[in-house]
Structure 1
Amino acid sequence: MASGRAADVEFFEKFRVWSQEFPPADRDVRLQQNFTGLGLTGAAPLTEAGPELVAALDTEYTAGRAHVEEVARTAPGIRRVNGWLLAIHGFDYNVDTFEVGTVDSPDWKIADDTLRIVSRAAAARGTVGKPRLRGAYALTYVDLDGAPLDGAHSYRITLDPVPPVDAFWSLTMYSVPDFYLVDNPIDRYSVGDRTPGLVADDNGAVTITVSRDEPADPADRANWLPAPAGPFRPALRMYSPRKTILDGTYDLPPLVRVD
């Protein structure tokens, strides 16, 4: 194989093969055809590519990966509320590929072609959802004051009311920058309406403590979401969300630093 980073060529070779084995939806065919000059739509394996094409693939891979990382963090075109990025349309391609569990509705689609494609990539990078379920997702990297979330501090978030859903909701902890679940002494990776012993106040509101160290107060400990020692990014998952989530009437509260 020609010189170049093998990982880059391998990535695009997988794209070439898989995009032909699983053809794109009608609305994405035109986009795929734009890749013809990079050898991504033909029959020739990219392992046989010459040095000029390998260099071009290397450049595109580096630039594309950086762009996806930036979009995953900044979420252009996505509504922001109290530091949360509302990734409601992250998996809008469901209706192109799946049937069961999907809804063919404007509420679940992104009309802009360019934004749609990069949003899909960012959603996949951020591991925010399951493509066969109707789910709305929200991500945040910052607290109420806009400071990056970090396990050196403790935070609280009060869901009042809790997310209006017809299925279930959960707040899940992920590391940064790899978005992995975070190991912790109680093997708890999320807190939600299915968490055993979840404590709510008299009005049904739920306050979740997000911290590296286990809270001393029993109520805080019952609703504790363990955090890593360093930066982190929680994701709020809301399955079968009601209209107030989709139309933006329901606003998510911020994470408030308490120490």
Structure 2
Amino acid sequence: MTSRTESLAGLAADAYVYGFPLVFDVSMISAFMHKGFGSLPPTPFNRFGHSTKLATPDAHFVSVNNDTVYSIAQVDISGGPVLLHVPDTVGAYYVLQFVDVWSNNFAYLGQRATGTEAGDWLVVPPGWSGTAPDGVRGVIDAPTSVISIVGRNACDGPEDMPRVQALQQQLTLTVLDPASHRTGLPAPDPDVPEELRFFERLRVWMAGFPPSAPDQDHQERFQPLGLLEEGPSPYVNADPALVKALTEGAAAGKARVEAASNPPADGARPPGAWEMNPHLFDYNLDHYGIGTIDSPQWRITDREASYLVRAAAARAALWGNHGYEAVYAHTFTDADGKQLNGARSYSLRFEQPPPVESFWSVTMYDTPDYYLVDNPVGRYSLGDRTPGLVYGEDGSLTVVIQRERPDDREGAANWLPAPAGDFRPMIRLYTPGQSVLDGTYQLPPIVARG
């Protein structure tokens, strides 16, 4: 019995890693629809919810950005296609990122992918074989019957909001057959005990949103855990041995995801080196729509290894873009290898601006939640579009990172506020240059001052 329980626990740990992105993603979809995120209001299916301001600490979403204004829609296409209208941004940066419920990025519209002119696009469900209406620029094939459209419009501060808000009002979804769509997400059994609810959600949502055929073959191995059972939940009155295995497996799987989200320092990397992985979101192996790059360079070769990468990406940066759209870099330590903490003061010196085609920023997050950090001046990020920055005569820029406002003018102008405790800053490089993607460009380390 012990060996069987251990075997089931190991299988449950694998299932946790495999299923975490689905459970987390659908949970965030539900939260968005019922509670909203920060200034994004609760929004039903097939409508955009628009931020009325750049993100602030009340947006409790992992690694939310403070460079762009969000417009997010949860789209249900279970009953047929939805027509998306995109306005002309007159050359300004924007991206609409299409994400299925397994957290795969499967299409992009925007400055990099399709230009900035206006147009209509047809979003269609899996297996759709109809005819697109005249005048649409293209068809976006969705891998699952519910998807997220994550829109980001570059915003140069509060004074730029009227321009962005005008664009938001022109971004629309039109359901072609309103009566045929679902009204909610598949509901897990509420009587399942708390310690088994992850697996109940995974069971119900796997059935409701089947993955690609290769992934379906992989998840067949989870049959002994009850994850493939249809009808009444097997977890309401589960056998104690199964409960033990699932509980232990969930703990082990969670530990694996956390470890992958915050890997130990690589001895081959210098202390304080930024963790910058342009290929963090390369786990989508099956669906390449408009705006994606279908190339071996952007595909993880080992499917089973991709499940842990996918889980770590969901945990630390859900709904992040492929590296060719934006690259994210983070660090937990300074140049001496010590944990970053608000009890100390730091500097981050850029000898030259990072190589990007659009823009770059550095944003402050707390740990372990990776939320924006509240501060008295309301500055959550800093970058090449921040007004009033003071550059050196040689073109360099020194960012001051500390809890208290610096006394000198240059330090105050270039100040990125830190929290009292540990923190993790993130640098975003929008439409990064080739030297970022091939690894020849290295971000400077954060140096402790005094």
TM-score normalized with structure 1 length: 0.86
Match of 2:204 among 8, 13, 17: 17
8 A Cα contact 1:138 1:236, kept in partner: yes
- The 5-angstrom pairing of residues 72-83 of structure 1 reads 72-74=261-263, 80=269, 82-83=272-273
State the match for 1:113 in structure 2.
Answer: 303
How far off its partner does 1:119 sit? Answer: 1.7
Amino acid corresponding to residue 206 of structure 1 in structure 2:
L
State the match for 1:69 in structure 2.
Answer: 258
State the match for 2:229 in structure 1.
Answer: 42
State the match for 1:182 in structure 2.
Answer: 373
Looking at structure 1, the residues matched to 229 and 301 of structure 2 have their Cα atoms a distance apart, in angstroms, of: 28
State the match for 2:334 in structure 1.
Answer: 143
Looking at structure 2, the residues matched to 107 and 242 of structure 1 have their Cα atoms a distance apart, in angstroms, of: 15
8 A Cα contact 1:87 1:136, kept in partner: yes
Amino acid corresponding to residue 34 of structure 1 in structure 2:
R
Q: Which has the higher helix share?
A: 1
8 A Cα contact 1:100 1:132, kept in partner: no
Amino acid corresponding to residue 299 of structure 2 in structure 1:
K
How far off its partner does 1:110 sit? Answer: 2.2
State the match for 2:80 in structure 1.
Answer: none
Cα distance change on mapping 1:177 and 1:198 into 2, 3 Å? same
Percent identity over paired residues: 46
How far off its partner does 1:132 sit? Answer: 7.0
Residue by residue over 1:167-189, the C-alpha shift from the partner in whole angstroms, topping out at 9 and shown as x without a partner, is: 22211111111211111111111
Looking at structure 2, the residues matched to 192 and 72 of structure 1 have their Cα atoms a distance apart, in angstroms, of: 25
Amino acid corresponding to residue 201 of structure 2 in structure 1:
K
8 A Cα contact 2:278 2:437, kept in partner: yes
Looking at structure 1, the residues matched to 351 and 217 of structure 2 have their Cα atoms a distance apart, in angstroms, of: 45
Cα distance change on mapping 1:147 and 1:28 into 2, 3 Å? same
**More moved, 5-14 vs 225-234:** 5-14
How far off its partner does 1:108 sit? Answer: 2.8
Q: Which has the higher strand share?
A: 2
State the match for 1:255 in structure 2.
Answer: 446
Amino acid corresponding to residue 53 of structure 1 in structure 2:
L
Residue by residue over 1:143-192, the C-alpha shift from the partner in whole angstroms, topping out at 9 and shown as x without a partner, is: 00101111000111112322211222211111111211111111111111
8 A Cα contact 2:342 2:419, kept in partner: yes
8 A Cα contact 1:164 1:244, kept in partner: yes
8 A Cα contact 2:283 2:309, kept in partner: no
Match of 1:219 among 395, 407, 410: 410
SS class of match (2:243): helix
Residues 1:92 and 2:282 are matched in the alignment = yes
Cα distance change on mapping 1:95 and 1:148 into 2, 3 Å? same
Residues 1:6 and 2:6 are matched in the alignment = no
Amino acid corresponding to residue 305 of structure 2 in structure 1:
L
RMSD value over aligned CA atoms? 2.6
Amino acid corresponding to residue 58 of structure 1 in structure 2:
T
How far off its partner does 1:135 sit? Answer: 1.8
Cα distance change on mapping 1:247 and 1:216 into 2, 3 Å? same
8 A Cα contact 1:160 1:206, kept in partner: yes
How far off its partner does 1:95 sit? Answer: 6.4
State the match for 2:241 in structure 1.
Answer: 52
State the match for 2:429 in structure 1.
Answer: 238
Residue by residue over 1:18-65, the C-alpha shift from the partner in whole angstroms, topping out at 9 and shown as x without a partner, is: 223222234533432232221223314243333322222111110011
Looking at structure 2, the residues matched to 36 and 160 of structure 1 have their Cα atoms a distance apart, in angstroms, of: 56
Match of 2:398 among 207, 211, 235: 207
Cα distance change on mapping 1:220 and 1:64 into 2, 3 Å? same
How far off its partner does 1:122 sit? Answer: 1.4
Amino acid corresponding to residue 89 of structure 1 in structure 2:
H
How many residues were matched structurally?
254
The structure with the largest alpha-carbon Rg is 2
Cα distance change on mapping 1:131 and 1:55 into 2, 3 Å? farther
How far off its partner does 1:245 sit? Answer: 0.7
8 A Cα contact 1:160 1:204, kept in partner: yes
SS class of match (2:262): helix
Residues 1:102 and 2:292 are matched in the alignment = yes
Residue by residue over 1:182-219, the C-alpha shift from the partner in whole angstroms, topping out at 9 and shown as x without a partner, is: 11111111111222223333443322111111112222
**More moved, 84-93 vs 234-243:** 84-93
8 A Cα contact 1:83 1:144, kept in partner: yes
